[in-house]
Amino acid sequence: EAGVAQSPRYKIIEKRQSVAFWCNPISGHATLYWYQQILGQGPKLLIQFQNNGVVDDSQLPKDRFSAERLKGVDSTLKIQPAKLEDSAVYLCASSRGTVGYEQYFGPGTRLTVT
Amino acid sequence: GEDVEQSLFLSVREGDSSVINCTYTDSSSTYLYWYKQEPGAGLQLLTYIFSNMDMKQDQRLTVLLNKKDKHLSLRIADTQTGDSAIYFCAESYTGTASKLTFGTGTRLQVTL
């Protein structure tokens, strides 16, 4: 079975620019997660979708970050405008369900904001 | 509140056992996990333990849970150079959401 796909793998932008990341979860996985991993830290959940509905976005900086999961499959995460502190690896994960199901992680997108 | 702590670095010789430790604060944690992250790669689930268990063994991996002290450890027997990576412990709890709260990660270096 194919894993979680993410693109691009690397992105460099200047502050105040906008950027979008794309995630294609494992086929059949209802739950999709976006995590932010700052260098030297563990991943932190930004948003969780169950099908195309948002379950938890309590740690998403909504003034600049947005995410959607149209049709309950692929998802995009957008940052507009980017700040220097947004430099991080953005990880997408998916699972068959919520509690008790293993989360499978993609390779991540490394964002550098200059 | 939720807080998961780990030591930052561990160095062991090839063939020795490695023990990576983790402490957590959320007493309502239901599942505790160990993930491995190699350079440039995503996170790989190694093993997990339910909060009502004390120990779980899976080939070279042994997980010990001390619920009273909120202490979790991962023992890797016969450590190999391929085990060099960052190891994260994580917790989650039963609820409508299932987010993982990760520790800061322990970098394991295996030397010859």
Mark yes or no for CB contact A31/B103 under 8 Å: no
Task: Please determine, for residue B92, whether its predicted confidence score (pLDDT) is greater than 90.
Answer: no
For A29-45, how does the pLDDT look when each residue is reduced to its tens digit (9 = 90+)? 999 999 999 998 999 99
HSE, CB side, 13 Å, CA atoms: give it for residue A61.
Answer: 13
Give Cα separations from A52 to A13, A29, A34, A68, B17 (angstroms).
29, 12, 14, 8, 45
- B55 Cβ neighbours under 8 A, 6+ residues apart: B49, B62, B63, B64, B65
Q: Using CB atoms and an 8 Å cut-off, which of residues 17-36 of chain B contact chain A?
A: 30-31
User: Is B43–A43 a contact, with Cβ atoms under 8 angstroms apart?
Assistant: yes
Is A95's Cβ below 8 Å from some Cβ in B? yes
Within 13 A of B60's CA, how many CA atoms are on the CB side?
A: 12
Confidence of residue A97 (pLDDT cuts 50, 70, 90): confident
Instruction: State residue B95's pLDDT score.
Output: 59
- pLDDT of B94 reads 63
For A41-92, write each residue's pLDDT tens digit. Answer: 999 999 999 998 999 999 999 999 999 998 889 999 999 999 999 999 999 9
Spatial contact of B12 and B75, defined as CB atoms under 8 Å apart: no
Using the predicted structure, report yes or no on whether residue B1 has a pLDDT greater than 50: no
CB within 8 Å: A98 and B41 = no
Locate the chain B residue with the closest alpha carbon to A59: B99
CA A23 to chain CA centroid, nearest Å? 7
Q: What is the mean pLDDT of chain A?
A: 94
Contacts 24+ apart (CB under 8 A), A51-56: A55/A31, A55/A98, A55/B96, A55/B97, A56/B97, A56/B99
Q: How far is A82 from chain B (nearest CA, A)?
A: 23
Percent of chain A topping pLDDT 90: 84
Closest CA to A81 of A66, A68, A91, A92: A66
Q: Mean pLDDT score of chain B, rounded to an integer?
A: 90
